[in-house]
Amino acid sequence: MATILLTGGGRGLGRITAEKLAASGHRVLLTARTPAAAEAAVARIRATHPGASVEPRAVDLSSLAAVREFAVRQADHGERLDVLFHIAGVMQTSPVRRLTVDGLEETLAVNALAPFLLTNLLLPSLERSSAARVVVVSSRLHLPGSRGVPVDFDFDDPQLERGYHPERAYKNSKLAALWFTYELQRRLPPRPITANAVCPGFVPATVAASTHGAMRFAMRHVLPRMRFATSVEDATDSFVFMATDPSIEGVGGQFFGERHPVESSPESRDPELARRFWHLAADLSGLQRA
Ligand SMILES: NC(=O)c1ccc[n+]([C@@H]2O[C@H](COP(=O)([O-])OP(=O)(O)OC[C@H]3O[C@@H](n4cnc5c(N)ncnc54)[C@H](OP(=O)(O)O)[C@@H]3O)[C@@H](O)[C@H]2O)c1
């Protein structure tokens, strides 16, 4: 049985994924932003699955120091990690650009820089596994032409100091998450570790938490019935597939939809841009450049 560390385990798709993985016998290290949120999620899982091996961990992914401290402590345990699953993500709705304690634009920091730093610092733990997986949750919203404000990642203004829009920040961060995943995959050999990204589909039931008023009502009660919507059940089944399905052992550098590879944008597949993002992420997160 695998040891799986996942982020975003406090609620939404992360919590249900943690529950399914623990229920099927895996050891789950469930991280949430605060100890209280992690413990509450673990207690909920144990209430329905008393024998589940699930442990609470806390890390605020908007703080580079917190990510670093958490990763170093985790790596120092000398434990093997078979799966590192980056599920946590933030989608702002306010037009006001939010900065983290490090002065970074929050969406990019949580959705792309935290996975970058955490993965790099946890490589020693992943190397202890005979076949480890890094899975990064991205989104089809990174595709050009997706609904709303278009993706537009400008390396001269990666943190949207000019022309901030929350939708653009989200789409750019999910494009950056793909660059990180693909460049990581290029850098991993000869280690027995793979890196893939996944989109859960459009899951209004969990998006509801980031919305308000009439939009929240629609996300909770109306949109889940639409043909284009994905249920929490299906989305988390595809997350479980990414974490543990033997059919994708050894497969890396792919963007998955519902349990099969799907195309990501040509921009995301540009190795030069991916390398450039890697260097930017190393600079912004304070990781030694390599
Ligand atoms: N739902 C969709 O339609 C959809 C589509 C494509 C991709 N995705 C992606 O799928 C993933 C899960 O989405 P979801 O729908 O389950 O969203 P959600 O219900 O809003 O859950 C987001 C999770 O991320 C955590 N998080 C946010 N900021 C954090 C921080 N600074 N430190 C630690 N944890 C933090 C949240 O913890 P708190 O409770 O502390 O805020 C929460 O557990 C996200 O990456 C999202 O972008 C979702």
As a whole-number percent, the residues of the chain with pLDDT over 90 amount to 88
Q: Show me where the domains of the chain are located.
A: 3-203+231-285
pLDDT one-digit tens code per residue, 100-158: 999 999 999 999 999 999 999 999 999 999 999 999 999 999 999 999 999 999 999 99
Element (H, E) at 57: strand 54-58
pLDDT score of 226: 87
Q: Which of 44, 90, 181, 220 to mutate to test the pocket of ligand 1 (most atoms within 8 A of CB)?
A: 90
Q: For domain 3-203+231-285, which architecture applies? A: 3-Layer(aba) Sandwich (3.40)
Q: Is 6 in the pocket of ligand 1 (CB under 6 A)?
A: no
Q: Does residue 101 line the site of ligand 1, with CB under 6 A? A: no
Of all atoms in ligand 1, which is nearest to the CA of residue 33? 33
Residue 137 Cα: closest atom of ligand 1 = 45
* pLDDT > 70? residue 289: no
CA–centroid distance, residue 51 to ligand 1 (Å) = 27
Contact 18, 54 (CB under 8 A): yes
Of 170, 180, 255, 277, the active-site residue reads 170
CA of 272 to the centre of ligand 1 (A): 29
CA 88 to ligand 1 center in whole angstroms? 4
pLDDT in tens, 62-106: 999 999 999 999 999 899 999 999 999 999 989 999 999 999 999
Q: Determine the atom of ligand 1 nearest the C-alpha atom of 203.
A: 3
- DSSP code string of 72-114: HHHHHTT---SEEEE-------SSSPPB-TTS-BHHHIIIIIH
Is residue 288 scored above 80 in pLDDT?
A: no
Q: Is 88 in the pocket of ligand 1 (CB under 6 A)?
A: yes
Asked if 182 is an active-site residue, the reply is no
Asked whether residue 290 carries a pLDDT value surpassing 60, the answer given is no
Nearest to 95 by CA among 205, 154, 170: 170
Taking every pair of Cα atoms in the chain, the longest distance, rounded to a whole number of angstroms, is 51
